[in-house]
Structure 1
Amino acid sequence: MFSRILPLFFSFLAVLSAAAQREVPRIDIKLADGITLSDLESSKKTWRRAQITIKAAGIGKNITDSAKVRGRGNTTWSMKKKPFRFKFDKKQSPFGLAKGKSWVLLANFLSDAQLNNAIAMRTAQLVGASHANHMIPVELYINGSYRGLYNLTEQVDLASNSVVVPDESKAALLEWDTYDGDPKRDSTYKLPVDLKAPEIEDYVTDYGKEAATLYQETLNSEIQKLTRAVLAERTAEVVDVPSLAAFYYVFDLTGNLELRHPKSVNVWRANIFDPQSKWVFGPVWDFDWAYGYEHTGAFATINPQFDLLDGKGPKGPGRNFFRHAMHGSQEVATAYNELAQRFAKQGGIDSLCKYIDEYAAWIAPAAERDFNRWWKGSPDYTSLAALMKAWLSERATYIAEHPIGYVPTGVRAVPAATRSEEAPIYTLDGRRLSPGATRPAGILLQGGRKIVGNRP
């Protein structure tokens, strides 16, 4: 299932060590028709015409092509250094990746966050997670203005450079996310389910209203079957077990609590009309708050010996679902425990640590320029890279030595929390306020929304 990823992955690894001694690639976005950077940043959802030039720095071919570009993200869009997505007019293969039109530029603007997503996606590749993204460091210029160090990566979608399926009219890519999902789609756990692809408006255009109605009715029914099967300890009947084991391991190793809400949980299926077609977990996404950040507001400082689903953290429906999915199936528990053993004892963690060293060395000059541009985070990731390696190594050992056990789910779901924990609060420059701290006067960010500080 995941063999499509491997040639690209190993090709990328082959140039990584050498790339660490070279410059970080550069992307220039030249907005069309007199559009300014302020215009682009004034609206997240408005597409703007542009010409995009990629100077690949020896990793694949240079590219110049017309495209459209707009903002993206939730909380991150409200910060000074903004994330973007763009869509080429025709499919391109930046840095030798699979050809596609849609790509993302991640800003990594939380303090010291330049390693986060790169480490997580490398882990996903190592464990064979479904359609794992690639994280290419790039320096971004818009209309000649330096915007800093970003990651270029694939837009998660049903597309030639992301989740590839035989027939998109029969497939579904879901995102479980408290920002956009609809809990009415799932009566078992109240998971906030959003149909990421295909878009229903496009489906109506391509196949007609009657076909779109049938598609939506079938999808809603299949979502209910999925969650009811997990509750009834029949996860392996409806879910691709290796994909679930790999997906969960990436979150577990990195200590990413987002799936407990859930947020940014992607699940796809090649054919919702075929009972033999199973749900596949992935691609993994969004590790800004991983590595203990949600506990302490810093990376790799919390004791790495903790259970992902127990203890302090979000108590949303995702927590209940994944507890049942991972512990309520002997097949899932066995697959997960075997993967954890292999990663800890057969070179997986060693490969990851080597990658961290090489990636930190590669981005070093660009990270310093990014720091000088924004005065945010750190100009040198050497110390954090060492801290991350030690933290991840200890966590890999802990997970391997504490295997998941089979625990029957019973006949009732654990009720979802009726009161959500208060979302963390940030200043406009991305600094997280300590819980209970006095809010400074001015505009602050909470849960992707602007609030007003109350200190006189």
Structure 2
Amino acid sequence: MNIRRRGLVAALASMALLFPGTAALAQTSATAAAPTVASAVEPLSNLPLISVVLADPDPTHNTITYLNASKDNVVPSTVDLVGAQDPAQNLTALSAEIKGRGNFTWTLAKKPYQLKFSSAQSVLGMAPAKTWVLLANHADTALLRNKVAFDLARELGLPYSPESRFVDLEINGQDLGNYLITEKVEVKTNRVELQDDAGLLLELDNNYGLAEDYHFYTKTSNTLFVLKDAKGGVSVPLSPTVQTAYTDIQTYLNTLESLLYAPKPDWTKISSMIDVESFLKYYFVFDLTENPEIVASSVYFYKDGPNDVLHAGPVWDFDSSEGSYAVEHLGGDPESEYVKNASVLRRRGNGWFGELFRNPQFVTAANQMYTGEVRAKIDALTSKIDGYAAEIKQSANRNFQIWPVLGKPSVFPAGNGHLVRSTWAGEVSYLRDWVAQRAGFLDGSYGETVPIVRYSTHVSTIGWQPTMSTGQIAGTIGRSLRVEAMVISHQNATVPGSIQGNAYVQSLGWQGWKGPGSTIGTTGRGLRMEGVQLRLTDQLAAKYDISYRAHVQNNGWMPWVRNGATAGLPGQGLRIEAVQVRLLPKGPNASYRSHVQGIGWMPYVTNGTSSGTTGRSLRIEALQLKVSAGPYTGDISYRGHVQSIGWQSWVGSSTFIGTTGRGLRLEALQIKLTGERAAHYAVRYRAYVQDVGWQQWVWDGATAGTTGLGKRIETVQIEVIPKTS
């Protein structure tokens, strides 16, 4: 790592000539610098620099090695901040303490820290406080995820959301790279400003909460909560006022959970116990980012005394969000109905938001808030990411010289983390594209005019489950229980139409289409549903697509299908175990089919569904693609890279790419939209490649597959999605 000693060692050596007693101090170099020794501090990039000099009376503590050895090692220091755009915001030789912080992030090579000044300080224009957090963002190879989430929460007006600034950090002259200095989540002036002496700040912490002095489990969801802070302070033992409040909050949360998890929840009572607005804003920040921590840890709530309701927030800890993972259950699919299903997808943790979404009133409020407050903020995120990236470009390039992690396996468990690009610009592009796709999906999923789908499943040994709302998982996962029947309907529609359903039942086959509110499948006969078809009628069908999928025995989640297509595997003796249903606004759909070795042309599939084969080592030889009619003119343009031929010419939807009857493999493809469609929609696609497996999604003319490697494409997925600004 780069170490900048500047004039510090020379100054100490000069002192040693005048004062022999300082010779040992000079030998310790910058790692044991005395705070009274002045040294020029200069920025490392265009960002402000925070320079920390360790200054413990015990010289053996004045090393980064000691500081990083334990989070419990607190080292007195002096702090300079230079390079602020407003010189008045620079700080000089301030007394402070520095220590490590974090849980998972503390285990990584680049460490996060906490600075505590001896008196409250304004840092880079942020409100004065003593304690500040330096986030290393080492798990986030774009360096932007926490900033994106924190600023979104602030723009939505979620109280006490952390303010933050990008900086460079050095300790004892050693350049540690790019950091985000941010406000700490704590009960203090200019932080979480509780007024009542009985006001409490709680953390949902199923991961690490047992290490805290005060923690408890809720009775219904078995969630571990921690008393994180209090207006009256957290001491051992607690003061009588705080102890009473701590006892009362446990009763309060248990009462709230009994209401949330009731088969028929009472929204009037639920909404009287929570600040619905803060819960909605908190939800949208976590759902936009698909933060898997929502069921696990770093999830905060506060209640300002016995007469207050429970508030959600502040937000915290987005290192593993926004596409950091590549798997849906950990938030890797930008088109997942994520937060409302996170506890089911992860098969662990707290499910409060899933229970809230069972209430049509909460769904309606979410739709209204999205239209009025959220949509514009989320649609602006891609341009904000570009702005953040431009701001930290110099610092980021330095950071990855110090910490060479680009192009290497993710720090997350093998097979779960996204494929880290070889350049920081590539990582920023990946984040931007992921957020753009997520924003596009949310734009189609929420809004005041979007109808609410309501459905329930009848499950073996359980019976009828509680009714779910749009996008929620109905049924069970991991319990080997069959779905036997289903009832589905909708409400809040502004156009005429209904939802119809058809079920394929063990020993009976397809039952035939039934209207809304009718039971499809059977009850009391012990027969499994093996397939389901759903469709819309009248103007509802003209305005929306109904999209649904099934979780099938031995197969897991099957691909999403639409508008009367079959979900499940009817006739194969495999039970459906769970289903999801959602409405999506009409737009151009990609429809495509593959010509496969030994099979020939396979049936057409639509948006995002797999075409081809996997696990059979069969090459795709040709691909035919078309886009359905939509509100804009234009077409699809695509070309293939074929064995022994190379790149073919670009063609439109009237023909196919590749070859038939020649036994040649399709090795790569490029797809783009034309005309007005290109201005309003994007096409994304990916290939399953011989010896490689699924590649990452690519967009709008980029290459999927390989060239020059002689590898066949075996499966493709293609979809057209709305663009965001």
Q: Does structure 1 residue 230 correspond to structure 2 residue 260?
A: yes
Cα 1:407–1:324, aligned 2, differ >3 Å: closer, same or farther? Answer: farther
The aligned residue for residue 284 of structure 2 is 249
Unaligned runs of 5+ in 1: 1-21, 420-456
Give the paired residue count.
385
Tell me the alpha carbon deviations over residues 116-173 of structure 1, each in whole angstroms, 9 at most, x when there is no partner: 1111112212222221112311110001101110110011011123211113x21110
How far off is 1:198 after superposition? 2.7
Larger radius of gyration: 2
The aligned residue for residue 57 of structure 1 is 84
Question: Which structure's residues are more often helix, by fraction?
Answer: 1
After superposing the two structures, state which structure 1 stretch, 221-230 or 187-196, moved more. Answer: 221-230
Which of the residues 322, 325, 345 maps onto 1:294? 325
Q: Does structure 1 residue 74 correspond to structure 2 residue 109?
A: no
The aligned residue for residue 75 of structure 2 is 48
Name the amino acid aligned to 1:394: G
The aligned residue for residue 265 of structure 1 is 299
How far off is 1:58 after superposition? 1.2
- SS of 1:95's equivalent in the other structure is coil
Which of the residues 315, 334, 344 maps onto 2:364? 334
Q: Is the contact made by 1:317 and 1:417 (CA closer than 8 Å) also made in structure 2?
A: no
Name the amino acid aligned to 2:248: T
How far off is 1:244 after superposition? 0.2
Q: Does structure 1 residue 114 correspond to structure 2 residue 143?
A: yes
Tell me the alpha carbon deviations over residues 58-117 of structure 1, each in whole angstroms, 9 at most, x when there is no partner: 156112321111111111111110011111111111011111111101111125241111
Q: Is the contact made by 1:86 and 1:104 (CA closer than 8 Å) also made in structure 2?
A: yes
Q: Does structure 1 residue 181 correspond to structure 2 residue 227?
A: no
Q: CA RMSD in A?
A: 3.2
Cα 1:71–1:384, aligned 2, differ >3 Å: closer, same or farther? Answer: same
After superposing the two structures, state which structure 1 stretch, 125-134 or 236-245, moved more. Answer: 125-134
- For residues 290-439 of structure 1, the aligned pairs below 5 Å read 290-296=321-327, 302-310=333-341, 313-318=345-350, 320-328=351-359, 330=361, 332-343=362-373, 345=375, 347-377=376-406, 378-380=423-425, 382-384=428-430, 386-400=432-446
Q: State TM-score, norm by structure 1.
A: 0.76
Name the amino acid aligned to 1:156: V
Cα 1:344–1:415, aligned 2, differ >3 Å: closer, same or farther? Answer: closer
Unaligned runs of 5+ in 2: 1-44, 407-422, 457-464, 468-473, 480-725
Q: State TM-score, norm by structure 2.
A: 0.49
Tell me the alpha carbon deviations over residues 227-253 of structure 1, each in whole angstroms, 9 at most, x when there is no partner: 233334332111001000000000111
Distance 1:415 1:258 in 2: 23
Q: Is the contact made by 2:331 and 2:338 (CA closer than 8 Å) also made in structure 1?
A: no
Cα 1:284–1:406, aligned 2, differ >3 Å: closer, same or farther? Answer: farther
Distance 1:130 1:123 in 2: 12
Q: Is the contact made by 2:142 and 2:424 (CA closer than 8 Å) also made in structure 1?
A: no
Name the amino acid aligned to 1:175: E
Q: Is the contact made by 2:67 and 2:75 (CA closer than 8 Å) also made in structure 1?
A: yes
Q: Is the contact made by 1:264 and 1:286 (CA closer than 8 Å) also made in structure 2?
A: yes
- Overall identity of the aligned pairs, in %: 28
Cα 1:212–1:247, aligned 2, differ >3 Å: closer, same or farther? Answer: closer
Cα 1:158–1:326, aligned 2, differ >3 Å: closer, same or farther? Answer: farther
Name the amino acid aligned to 2:389: A
- For residues 83-94 of structure 1, the aligned pairs below 5 Å read 83-94=112-123
- SS of 1:221's equivalent in the other structure is helix
How far off is 1:322 after superposition? 1.6
Distance 1:361 1:352 in 2: 14
How far off is 1:211 after superposition? 3.9
Q: Does structure 1 residue 157 correspond to structure 2 residue 186?
A: yes
The aligned residue for residue 126 of structure 1 is 155
Name the amino acid aligned to 1:217: T
How far off is 1:308 after superposition? 3.2
Distance 1:243 1:201 in 2: 24
How far off is 1:291 after superposition? 1.8
Q: Is the contact made by 1:295 and 1:313 (CA closer than 8 Å) also made in structure 2?
A: no
Cα 1:243–1:404, aligned 2, differ >3 Å: closer, same or farther? Answer: farther
After superposing the two structures, state which structure 1 stretch, 69-78 or 120-129, moved more. Answer: 120-129
Question: Which structure's residues are more often strand, by fraction?
Answer: 2
Distance 1:164 1:337 in 2: 30
Cα 1:304–1:162, aligned 2, differ >3 Å: closer, same or farther? Answer: same
After superposing the two structures, state which structure 1 stretch, 229-238 or 187-196, moved more. Answer: 229-238
- SS of 1:294's equivalent in the other structure is coil
Distance 1:194 1:348 in 2: 32
- SS of 1:246's equivalent in the other structure is helix
How far off is 1:180 after superposition? 2.7
Cα 1:376–1:341, aligned 2, differ >3 Å: closer, same or farther? Answer: same
- SS of 2:169's equivalent in the other structure is strand
Tell me the alpha carbon deviations over residues 400-429 of structure 1, each in whole angstroms, 9 at most, x when there is no partner: 266766789959xx999999xxxxxxxxxx
- For residues 89-104 of structure 1, the aligned pairs below 5 Å read 89-104=118-133
Distance 1:229 1:375 in 2: 50
Q: Is the contact made by 2:198 and 2:241 (CA closer than 8 Å) also made in structure 1?
A: no
Which of the residues 174, 186, 194 maps onto 2:226? 194
Name the amino acid aligned to 1:333: V
Q: Is the contact made by 1:155 and 1:162 (CA closer than 8 Å) also made in structure 2?
A: yes
- SS of 1:289's equivalent in the other structure is coil
Name the amino acid aligned to 2:304: A
Distance 1:392 1:216 in 2: 39
- SS of 1:159's equivalent in the other structure is coil
Task: Name the structure, 1 or 2, with higher relative contact order (CA <8 Å, separation 6+).
Answer: 1
Name the amino acid aligned to 1:268: Y
Distance 2:152 2:96 in 1: 31
Name the amino acid aligned to 2:203: E
Which of the residues 168, 174, 182 maps onto 1:145? 174
Distance 2:85 2:63 in 1: 30
Q: Is the contact made by 2:140 and 2:319 (CA closer than 8 Å) also made in structure 1?
A: no
Name the amino acid aligned to 1:395: F
Name the amino acid aligned to 1:142: I
Name the amino acid aligned to 2:391: W
Cα 1:200–1:158, aligned 2, differ >3 Å: closer, same or farther? Answer: closer
Q: Is the contact made by 1:369 and 1:379 (CA closer than 8 Å) also made in structure 2?
A: no
Cα 1:23–1:404, aligned 2, differ >3 Å: closer, same or farther? Answer: farther
Name the amino acid aligned to 1:76: T
- SS of 2:133's equivalent in the other structure is strand
